Amino acid sequence: MNNIKEYVQEHKDRFINELIELLKIPSVSADAAFSKDVIATSEAVKTSLEKAGCKIVEICETPGYPIVYGEHIIDKNLPTVLVYGHYDVQPPDPLDLWTSPPFEPVIKKTEIHPEGAIFARGSCDDKGQMYMHVKAFEYMIANKNLPCNVKFMIEGEEEVGSKSLSWFVERNQEKLSCDVILISDTGMISNQQPSITTGLRGLSYVEVEVTSANRDLHSGLYGGAVANPINVLCKMIASLHDENNHITIPSFYDNVEELSTEQRAEMAKAPFNLENYKKALDLNDVYGEKGYVTNERNSIRPTLDVNGIWGGYTGEGAKTVIAGQAFAKISMRLVPNQDWETITELFKKHFESIAPSGVKVKVKPHHGGQGYVTPTDSIGYKAANKAYTETFGVPAIPVRSGGSIPIVALFEKELKSKTILMGFGLDSDAIHSPNEHFGIFNYLKGIETIPLFYKYFVELSK
Ligand code: BES
Ligand code: MN
Ligand code: MN
């Protein structure tokens, strides 16, 4: 019988080539122009699970994009691992900033990935990380050492809010019942220092619209006499933070959990170099909420950020005009105990209340979700830590991430199961950005580590 290290060595070229094929399909869920490709990707994922030896694989139709569901039950008395991932990807724009086309994957060496990384949209988030699970499963089947039952649930709408998945989970609690949920859709500290994500932030995403006159106006004839929606919007947005970068929305911090001095000291132990951080991003200085360091600002503290702002004339040259309307898209990252729907309401109420009488304001909620924290004393956490310790030679460090996977909190509510976030990406892999990539080292290490999670999860469950 092959061990996993040997199996990966023997099959790594095929593993890489299969992922490259999957990455060629532009499964952009946000843009309807790609809907055929999104559906084609779900078919490709289904085929890959079948080929890996999964007994039952089905495409589950939803009001939106389909969910690929797989099931391999070997013994009802053994534990069941539910693997979740997503086959959809973020839009690739701006295209001109890619050094190679986003859906023509190529392997390039980088300083952080000397053994090469696959450059393509979705390579890290999340096709590459999802596919590690398919290959780890293939190994366990081929070598007859799958120690428990497995269910796969791979969705196609994660990047747009997982609406159909919520619909699916609420209707299929029995089908999805499991002992632990395993997800690789986060990151780790570095290729030398693995980490396990123990927290995710929640999210509230809103769009705002500020209107003054019923048409665009000559900025000489009307300027100074009517409200300029862009000026007003900027002023309103600026007022949402005070001089300490605290968010000014009343009651916004009501349920925010303050970490103890001990917890913060524990967090500070994770390796982090501020100089390297600034250098990598070409920053003169970092910026954020007073009283917190960078690693706290981007994980345990809530935020409010404008993601996009538009209005008026942005074409070539100059046009003297006061736009009738101005818009912005705003995201708030939330921490556990902050309820996203309450926060959305608080935002709406506050934003409307600060509008001067010369304008009309509309707040349109987009989507959101709750944050998540998971304990480090569970069987799942311990199994993951043992697996990492074996493949990396050092134990994993628990890290609370700033990103969001809103469906994780819903899994806990609907399926009553804890999630283990075993991510193998790096922050520098440029997910959601041009030149997204995933290290070959990370991809293969993931495939090596996952079967050990299964092994230890079953051992520790006995
Ligand atoms: N995989 C990411 C989330 C992530 C990345 C968490 C790295 C932790 C570390 C996921 O695909 C994502 O992008 N989530 C969105 C939220 C979603 C509702 C659109 C996010 O965090 O912006
Ligand atoms: Mn993702
Ligand atoms: Mn993403």
Structural domains of the chain, ranges and CATH numbers in brackets: 4-200+371-461 (3.40.630.10), 202-256+302-369 (3.30.70.360)
| Ligand 1 atom nearest to CA at 160 | 19
124 CA distance to ligand 3 middle (Å): 9
Instruction: Express each pLDDT in 146-169 by its tens digit.
Output: 999 999 999 999 999 999 999 999
200 CA distance to ligand 1 middle (Å): 9
Q: Which residues pair with 151 in a beta bridge?
A: 71, 82
The total number of residues written for the chain in this structure: 462
33 Cβ contact list (under 8 Å, min separation 6): none
Q: Which pLDDT score is estimated for 334? A: 98
Whether 1 shows a pLDDT value over 60: the answer reads: no
**Is 103:120 a contact under the CB 8 Å cutoff?**
yes
Instruction: Express each pLDDT in 353-364 by its tens digit.
Output: 999 999 999 999
**Which helix H or strand E contains 88, and what residues bound it?**
none
Question: How is residue 120 written in tokens?
Answer: 């393509």
Residue type, position 304, single letter: L
Q: Which pLDDT score is estimated for 63? A: 97
Whether 186 shows a pLDDT value over 50: the answer reads: yes
To test the pocket of ligand 1, the residue of 84, 158, 164 to mutate (highest count of ligand atoms within 8 Å of its CB) is: 158
CA distance 387 to 109: 27
To test the pocket of ligand 1, the residue of 159, 401, 429 to mutate (highest count of ligand atoms within 8 Å of its CB) is: 159
* Among 382, 461, 460, 370, residue whose Cα is nearest residue 422: 382
User: What single-letter DSSP state applies at residue 258?
Assistant: P
Instruction: Express each pLDDT in 68-80 by its tens digit.
Output: 999 999 999 999 9
Whether 2 shows a pLDDT value over 80: the answer reads: no
* Long-range contacts, 373-379 (Cβ 8 Å, 24+): 373/198, 373/199, 373/336, 373/400, 374/198, 374/199, 374/418, 374/419, 374/420, 374/421, 375/198, 375/418, 376/196, 376/198, 378/418, 378/420, 379/180, 379/457, 379/460, 379/461
10 CA distance to ligand 3 middle (Å): 31
User: Which ligand is closest to the CA of 160, given by its number?
Assistant: 1
Mean pLDDT of the chain: 97
> Which residue has the least CA distance to atom 16 on ligand 1?
404
Give, rounded to a whole angstrom, the gap between the first and last alpha carbons of the chain. 24
Question: How is residue 129 written in tokens?
Answer: 């990380």
- At 317 the three-state DSSP class reads coil
CB atoms inside a 10 Å sphere around CB 145: 15
To test the pocket of ligand 1, the residue of 188, 404, 421, 426 to mutate (highest count of ligand atoms within 8 Å of its CB) is: 404
CA distance 130 to 145: 21
| Ligand 1 atom nearest to CA at 425 | 7
Q: What percent of the chain has pLDDT over 90?
A: 99
Instruction: Express each pLDDT in 332-344 by its tens digit.
Output: 999 989 999 999 9
| Ligand 1 atom nearest to CA at 402 | 8
Q: Which pLDDT score is estimated for 33? A: 98
Q: Which pLDDT score is estimated for 43? A: 98
| Ligand 1 atom nearest to CA at 401 | 8
> Which residue has the least CA distance to atom 1 on ligand 1?
185
Q: Is the CA virtual torsion 16, 21, 23, 24 positive or negative?
A: positive
Q: Which residues pair with 85 in a beta bridge?
A: 154
Question: How is residue 400 written in tokens?
Answer: 């609370």
Q: What is the mean pLDDT of residues 103-112?
A: 97
User: Which ligand is closest to the CA of 127, given by its number?
Assistant: 2
| Ligand 1 atom nearest to CA at 86 | 11
User: What single-letter DSSP state applies at residue 427?
Assistant: G
405 CA distance to ligand 2 middle (Å): 7
Q: Which pLDDT score is estimated for 318? A: 96
User: Which ligand is closest to the CA of 410, given by its number?
Assistant: 1
Q: What is the mean pLDDT of residues 264-292?
A: 95
| Ligand 1 atom nearest to CA at 197 | 8
Q: Which pLDDT score is estimated for 244? A: 98
**Is 371:171 a contact under the CB 8 Å cutoff?**
no
- At 395 the three-state DSSP class reads coil
What residues line ligand 1, using a CB cutoff of 6 Å? Answer: 125-126, 158-159, 161, 185-187, 200, 203, 401, 403-406
- What is the SS3 assignment for 237-256? HHCCECCCCCECCCCCCCCC
Q: Which pLDDT score is estimated for 24? A: 98
341 CA distance to ligand 3 middle (Å): 21
> Which residue has the least CA distance to atom 4 on ligand 1?
403
> Which residue has the least CA distance to atom 20 on ligand 1?
404
- At 37 the three-state DSSP class reads helix
Whether 102 shows a pLDDT value over 90: the answer reads: yes
Q: Which pLDDT score is estimated for 324? A: 98
Q: Which pLDDT score is estimated for 357? A: 98
404 CA distance to ligand 1 middle (Å): 5
CA distance 116 to 105: 12
For residue 214, report the phi and psi dihedrals to the nearest 5 degrees: -80, 5
C-alpha distances in angstroms, 332 versus 253, 259, 346? 12, 20, 12
Q: What is the mean pLDDT of residues 95-105?
A: 98
